[in-house]
Homo-oligomer: A and B are copies of this chain.
Amino acid sequence: MNNKEKIFNVSIDLFSKYGFDGVSVRQIAGEVGIKESSIYNHYSSKQAIMNSILDYYVEEMISDEIALDQASLNLDKGFDFFYKAGCDAFLTKLREERMMKITRLFFIESYHNDDVRNFLKKSVIEAPIEGWIVLFNLMKEKNLIEKDCDVRQLSESFFYYGMFLLYEHFFLNYPEDDDKFFDDFLAKTEKHAKTIFNSVKIEGIQ
């Protein structure tokens, strides 16, 4: 691993622990094992390191956005199967150690970084909600759930629960028991999904 890669990795480590403002260029250089002036041979500024991390994360995450669309093809196989298919690609990607660290970094920086905040709002919250709305509408058409239920409310009731689990883990409990968290996450959101589904399903189905 060359020094540029080392700088990148060490920065992810430190930024995700202490936030961007909580880490100095000296500190990064120290962890890499070079002097701080040498950093500037690889990145033009501290902010440039941060931007490369954010770009990396967005690129990795966006490539998974289509996963949910594909999941809709599996709707006939039952809600459980469909739910797992929808989450699998996302969770597999999120579970990578590097992605977990940057996820925490995103939560930390979102309050004062416009790019981060807009990515979270648009790609992490709004886009999935829209995806779930499409799917709940499909379920309506197939007579799996009641005709008169509010699909947006339903999508939010379903999705925000998982979002809070993520916030709680990455912001308040990190990095306690990462593996346990992901196992619990799947179990908990599945139970939650059933609770939500129960409230609107048409009797006799499933």
Q: Does the CB pair A111–B199 fall under 8 Å?
A: no
Task: Give how many copies assemble into the complex.
Answer: 2
Q: Is A110 an interface residue (CB 8 A)?
A: yes
Which of A28-36, A78-86, A130-138, A153-161 lies on the face that meets chain B?
Answer: A153-161
| Proximity bits, A94-107, B CB within 8 Å = 1, else 0 | 00000000001001
Q: Within the complex, what minimum Cβ distance (angstroms) separates A176 from chain B?
A: 11
Q: Within the complex, what minimum Cβ distance (angstroms) separates A109 from chain B?
A: 10
Q: Does the CB pair B110–A157 fall under 8 Å?
A: no
| List of B residues within 8 angstroms of A19 by Cβ | 21, 111-112
| List of B residues within 8 angstroms of A120 by Cβ | 172
Supply 7 further A-B pairs (C-beta < 8 A) apart from A157-B196, A164-B167, A198-B200.
Answer: A110-B171, A111-B172, A160-B160, A160-B164, A196-B196, A196-B199, A199-B199
